[in-house]
Structures are given as structure tokens and as C-alpha cells.
Amino acid sequence: MKKYFLTSLFLASSLVFSNEEERLELLYQKIERLEAEIRELRNLLEENSILVDRSVELQQQRYLDLDARLLELSKIASVEDSELEDNPISSITDQERELFRNALVLFEESRYAEALELFTEIIIAFPFGDYAAEAYFWSGELFLAQLKYEDAKLSFLSVVDQFPDHERISDSLYKLGEIERVQGNAAEALGYYSKVITNFAESGAAQLAKKSEEIVKEQSNLVD
């Protein structure tokens, strides 16, 4: 009887010990899974942090680029005004130039709605004038700032389609890529970036396109 009792006690102890071992093993496995999930989340956070930093850097470069363009246009307008004094031109060209100069002033003063009205007036009154392409481009910029992507797209496409030799082509293609990127169309965005990088390799737009291209590809990899 005593022997039977000791055997039963031993078996019960073994069973309890075995159950404890199983519980510890399950707990250990659970901890391992949690640690793996934490590592994965940390990696995702680091990757997203890198993308955010690059996006901020890219946005800052866009603002600097925009300021540089405005300064360039202001200088051009000043030079052209001085040339007018020595070389009078037709009243039509004079009127277009004045409208464009006034639109730039309004733009610089952040009076965007009024600036857009003047750019639109230039496009309607002088559809193939000296400043029509610039008017389309800056209208696109204003629409883009208001998140009116379809209107902005039409403006930039007008530059590309109607003024194929204009200096704003590279910038317009890049902006079209940015619109497609914001709208979630990665393939279309990469197509526009590729055109800028291939055909306008030395332009400022190409440098921006390379960085945007890298961001789009990395975001696509995260989604995949």
C-alpha cells in the first residue's frame, strides 16, 4: 500500500512538473513571437522615419526651387521693362507682359486667387503669346497648392503638349509625376520621373525627380 502511494505521488509530481514545463515552453514561445513582432515594428518605424525625412527634405527643396524661380522671373521682368524704354513693342505684347508682371506681383504677395485670375486672362487673351506657357505653369502651381489636382494636371499638360520646346517642360513633367504620386498612381508617377531624368538630366527638376522616384519605389516595397 505504501509503495502504491509513493508511486502515485511520484506520477502526480511528474505530471505537475511536465505541465509546468509545457506552460513555460508555451510562455517562452509567446515571448519570442512578441519580440519578433516588436523587432518588425521597429524596422517599419525606422523605414517610415527615413521616408518622412526624405519627404521633408524634398519639400524644402521644392520651396527653395520655387523661390529661385520667382526671383528669376522678377529679374527677367525688370530687364524686360528696362528694354521697353529703348525698344517700344506692339501694344498687344506690352499688354501681355504687363498682365504677367502683375500676376507675379500678386503671387509674391500670396494673393493667389487674384494671381490665378490674371494668369487665366493671359491664357484666354494670348493663348500662344510669349507668356502663355508661363501662365499655364504658374496656374498649375496655384491649383496644386489648393490640392486641385485635376486642374493642376490640365495646366501642366498644356505646357507639355502645346509648348514642347519651352524651358518649363522639365518642371511640368516633374509636377505631373508628383500629382500622380499623391493620387497613388505609382507607375504613372515613375513614368513622368523617368522622362525628366532621361531627357533633362542636368535640370533641377531631374534632381528632384530622382529623389521622388526613390521614395515611390521604397513606398511600393513597403506595401508589397
Say what the pLDDT of residue 78 is. Answer: 52
Q: Looking at residues 181-195, what average pLDDT do you find? A: 95
Phi-psi region of 87 (alpha: psi -120 to 50; beta: other; left: phi over 0): beta
Say what the pLDDT of residue 64 is. Answer: 46
* pLDDT > 90 in the chain, percent: 48
More confident residue, 40 or 78: 40
> Residues 2-58: pLDDT tens digits?
455 445 544 455 544 455 556 545 544 554 555 555 556 555 555 555 444 555 445
The answer to which of 80-84, 132-136, 145-149 has the lowest mean pLDDT is 80-84
Residues 48/51/53/59 CA torsion (nearest 10 deg): -140
Tell me the CA distances in angstroms from 142 to 8, 113, 146, 153, 164, one per residue in order: 86, 8, 6, 11, 22
Structural domains of the chain sorted by starting position, each given as residue range(s) with its CATH number in brackets: 61-223 (1.25.40.10)
DSSP string, 148-183: -HHHHHHHHHHHHHH-TTSTTHHHHHHHHHHHHHHT
Q: What are phi and psi of 19, to 5 degrees?
A: -65, -40
More confident residue, 212 or 2: 212
Mean pLDDT value across the chain: 75
Say what the pLDDT of residue 45 is. Answer: 54
Residue 28 amino acid letter: Y
Say what the pLDDT of residue 47 is. Answer: 53
More confident residue, 41 or 106: 106
Residue 105 buriedness (CB in 10 A; 0-12 / 13-18 / 19+): middle
> Residues 135-158: pLDDT tens digits?
999 999 999 988 999 999 999 999
Q: Which one-letter DSSP state was computed for residue 36?
A: H
Say what the pLDDT of residue 18 is. Answer: 54
Phi-psi region of 110 (alpha: psi -120 to 50; beta: other; left: phi over 0): left
Query: Best-predicted range by mean pLDDT among 20-24, 65-69, 125-129?
Result: 125-129
DSSP string, 42-92: HHHHHHHHHHHHHHHHHHHHHHHHHHHHHHHHHHHHHHHHHHHHHS---HH
> Maximum CA pair distance of the chain?
128
